[in-house]
Structure 1
Amino acid sequence: MLQFIMILCIAAHTLVTRVFCFWIFRKENKPESPERFVMLLPCYNETLGELTRSLDSLIAQKNIDDHPRTIFIVVDGNVKGPGMEKTTQQYLLEDILEPGPSRTFENGYRARDGLFMPTKVQTGFYKGMPYVFVGKRYNQGKRDSLCFARSFIYHYQVRSANVMTMFNNDLFEYIGNAFMQHGLEHIEYLRKRWALGSITNEFVMIFRPGIILVERLQSIVAVLTWFITPFIMAAVVKLILILIERGDELVKDPVFMTLISILACRYFYSLCIGFWLPRNWFERAQYFVGYFFHFITSPFCNVVVLVYSLFNSDDFKWGKTREVIDPEGEKGDGLGGRGTH
């Protein structure tokens, strides 16, 4: 139902802004002091093309030219995917980002495993946009990168000489000075765009003070949806059985058809995306194959993922299907060379 309402809102917004824009004049409301943006880009094993497209999409955002902003790039380890000639960090530092001042901190910050993470920090510009690059020497997962970025921005906003943080003081001061140089004296709030391991974060946001009502409601819906996944699958199976046994009767029932139409709206909207979003016929074919595969298997896959997640919730090697390379070219996550103090 919420997804149906979301689709209606998108359609209404499109009609108002695109179709009736000539008859509706909106008074532009500009704040006295522009908001300050830190645009977070967490990376792991992205290719040269993927990195370039992601950065260009941040550069291409409209109507924010007056806002001080910085791209905050956090790379998790040194990894290669199939067909990659370089690691993600090498692509960024050697082929994409303009060179700038850099510094390596052997005890950069305390990672999720409790050990200090060697970290390289570089600042500079990408197509005129300032960036702060943070490269972690070893793999700890994108969730660790999100913790790094969010914790840093929080402590930067409430910074005090007497507060202990997870960061090396020199690293904190180095990145903080880079933010100051680009007009980011304060960052008023964090806006969550996406999060790995989102259910844990959503559950925390339900009870955390200072969260606006809409965000809290969205978190409640996300957590409840996660909990009722097995019941959703059971309902889908039961629906299929009922359609097989009493399909002729149900299609004549107006209440049933109304509910089915509402549920089908989201799938129809997703189907339509395949006609305008893909850039060529190959991508369009990929989208539709994935769409129908998801349509058929998603209820069952969700339960499989749910069960697997519960039994492997403490495994930090999820998705670690790429080769992890240390500075000497050996495999490993660096536990032998890291300490707690």
Structure 2
Amino acid sequence: MQKKWLIYGAYGFTGELIAREAKKRGMTPVLAGRNPEMLNYLAKELELEARVFPVGKTTAENLSDIALVLHCAGPFQKTSPPMIKACLEAGADYLDITGEISVFEHSFAQDGKAKDADITICSGVGFDVIPTDCTALKLKELMPDAVSLALGFDSDSGISPGTYKTMIQGMGSGSAERRDGQLVPVTIGSQRRKIDFGRGRRSAMGIPWGDVSTAYHTTGIPNISTWIPMKRSRIIGARLFSPAGSILSLPFIQKRLMKWVSLRVSGPDEKLRADSPAYIWGEARNADGVVTTARIKTANVYDLTVYGALEVTSRLLDGDYPHGSYTPATLFGADLIESLPGSESFEVETIYPE
């Protein structure tokens, strides 16, 4: 019999996708969240236990019989630290589906506490960041002497309300990269290059993706950047727009934007997700100028999050893994991404300087 585990934020767009797939697989998670109406409606339909509680001082009391928490309620910058604290107090493993750099850094900072509490902490067990984290480890294995790493993805998947809200919360923060082992802020739109993510060369822009945190912990490579395809005109626009970011981060503007998302934005439907695979790309360089590139095609952003989160959950519940704070790839290896439904195999090429 599988240990008892809990999905917090089960009625959110991605949390509900995970809950429904878990039920299909015969799993019996406890569904949790702070909205009793939405939570009880879903729990009744899926015939699963429901627990209504906010993330805060009393959270640990609701986890006393729980072996693992899969945290799906963002914005994670606000909700993850108190949930991790509750898991440490209750002795429950902690997983989440974040892509926020600050959340990853906080998770890694809990390594000693997690070991003392005999729990495993692993943030980013969805599309954020399983595919790119596994790509990073694959490249490190192929090029142990790499000094720089670039990672990115290309997908036509739509955006869920929760992702929109996370993006809004991050307005004004700009981009970021890893330089000589340190996280460094970068003006949004200032990083530009051409990249073939897997379906032809395209203009691309640097973004503050979680791998500037996680890939460093996974590989130790000191220089890391993260990329998505973007039309050149939009990259220029993003750079020109960046000075306005501080205005958009004002509390009253944030509140209005969040309300707009709640009223107007719905997540991508099943057909759009099925027709929108993701293309993952990574490039490692060493001091001699040798370049190794790895690419892999996967299921769409949201389905991969469902598959990844449930795969990691199952492995932790059924297996014996080390305690502390980890990335998905350091726990389960580079081939984790290849094992997920909809994923192909890595394609690798190496170019040597003339």
The TM-score normalised by the length of structure 1 is 0.32
Structure in which a larger fraction of residues adopt strand: 2
Greater Rg, structure 1 or structure 2? 1
